[in-house]
Amino acid sequence: MSRYIAGYVEGFTHHHPFIHMPTFSIVKYKDVPELVMAIMAIGAQYRWQQDQRLVQESIQYQYLLSKYAHDGGLTESEDDDGDDWEVWAQKEVSRRIKLGVFCFLNLQSLAFRTPPVLFSNEIRLRLPTSCKEWIAAGPEEWKAARADALPLVEFQDALMRLLQPTGETSVLTTSPFGNYILIHALLQRLTISRQLLLGPNPRSSPLPESSLLQMALDRWKDAWQRAPESVLDLRDPKDSLSWRWLSAPVQRS
């Protein structure tokens, strides 16, 4: 059991940061065996195995994940999460899990060509905080990181700034995980736009939003390059495995 949990901590959590490891303790979840089993399963083998049965099973869970995200709430009204590190960690974990569900479901839609079950316009959450705040090992380190952090960015505000049709936009700066979420939102919009094309051969038809989406992708790349925490190093805890796979091709486009 300890080997599997260690595998999750050492091999997975830096790349998909939605469990807050500085406050994590397996004994806290003794009443949630499903979470413990999921952590152990990922730790035991977190590489994707191409198995049609597993593919169908994962697709069946899409609606369940979407329901849990909706039930947990996709909006928030508070301007910040307060000054208590433990309380902040709980709220940030909840936020990251919901945003992570959006990315995971969108990735499945892209991979298996299934309709989205959770749309970007449903999400009214803030983007994740900085990496320094997230990996801070204690309250004092967290407060110091928070004092130097950039202002929090709301997901819809960030997305609209990327999609603004004309004119200058203010510089968008967010965390690597925040940029990962935003590129999924843009890819979802691109996919839906392509599916709405009419005609027997969509590839030969003009894409109605092609110019707008190209502008949004250019802005996203510029924002990623400007962000102080942007890295492409799998050994760096600020990086994300999925983020690296997705960002590298976009950066070259």
Neighbours of 242 (CB within 10 A): 16
Region 16-36 average pLDDT: 78
d(CA 149, CA 155): 17
Region 6-31 average pLDDT: 77
Position 37 confidence tier, pLDDT thresholds 50, 70, 90: confident
Q: pTM here?
A: 0.73
d(CA 128, CA 229): 13
Position 181 confidence tier, pLDDT thresholds 50, 70, 90: very high
pLDDT tens readout for residues 94-126 = 999 899 899 989 988 887 888 899 999 999 999
Cα separations (Å) of 224 from 42, 172, 183, 230? Answer: 29, 9, 10, 6
Position 202 confidence tier, pLDDT thresholds 50, 70, 90: low
d(CA 231, CA 251): 12
Of 153-162, 171-180, 207-216, where does mean pLDDT reach its minimum?
Answer: 207-216
Q: Domain boundaries in the chain?
A: 1-197+208-245
Closest by CA to 244, choosing from 228, 252, 233, 253, is 233
